[in-house]
């Protein structure tokens, strides 16, 4: 199994977990009241952001592209028809969101977390694009 396929399987696992948790993430207050839910959601969001960046970086590396930072790695996805410009723009903020999760900035504004859980569609579309790309031989 290629590194991209391994990461894609992990991404799929965390996206499925977030989709299962989604009905319970009704508000910032729901996250404050339930530490297990809070931790599950934040860790899963951190994981999907990290996996997005890892996969984007791996795909850029396959093309011999260099990038200065994680945001550029995500932007480099535009080279593939599987990732339309609209999708790349939707994914572009996720490296900064990952940094906010790591540095616990979102703990001050859990509404960002609720919003992120409500907006998993771009990550789902990304995962499907990676799956198609890998099936076609990368």
Q: What is the residue whose two structure tokens read 């599987």?
A: 82
Which tokens hold the place of 85? Answer: 């410009």
Q: Give which of 67, 93, 85, 72 is closest to 129, Cα–Cα.
A: 85
Query: Following DSSP, what letter does each residue of 63-103 receive, concatenated?
Result: TT---SSHHHHHHGGGGSTTS-HHHHHHHTTHHHHHHHHHT
The per-residue pLDDT for 43 is 96
Give residue-wise pLDDT tens across range 92-115: 999 999 999 988 876 678 999 999
The per-residue pLDDT for 30 is 97
Give residue-wise pLDDT tens across range 47-65: 999 999 999 999 999 999 9
Q: Where are the domains of the chain?
A: 3-135
Q: Kindly tell me if the per-residue pLDDT of 125 is higher than 80.
A: yes
The per-residue pLDDT for 26 is 97
CATH superfamily for 3-135 is bsu32300-like (1.20.120.580)
Task: Please state the rounded mean pLDDT for residues 76-99.
Answer: 97
């Amino acid at each position: 199994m290629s590194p991209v396929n391994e990461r894609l399987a992990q991404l799929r696992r965390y996206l499925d977990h977030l989709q299962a948790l989604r009905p319970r993430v009704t508000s910032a207050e729901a996250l404050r009241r339930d530490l297990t839910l809070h931790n599950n959601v934040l860790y899963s969001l951190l994981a999907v952001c990290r996996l997005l960046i890892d996969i984007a970086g791996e795909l850029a590396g396959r093309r011999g592209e260099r990038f200065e930072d994680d945001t550029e790695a995500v932007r480099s996805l535009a080279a593939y028809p599987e990732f339309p410009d609209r999708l790349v723009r939707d994914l572009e903020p996720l490296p900064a969101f990952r940094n906010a999760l790591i540095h616990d900035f979102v703990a001050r504004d859990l509404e960002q977390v609720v919003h992120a859980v409500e907006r998993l569609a771009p990550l789902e579309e990304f995962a499907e694009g990676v799956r198609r790309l890998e099936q076609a031989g990368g």
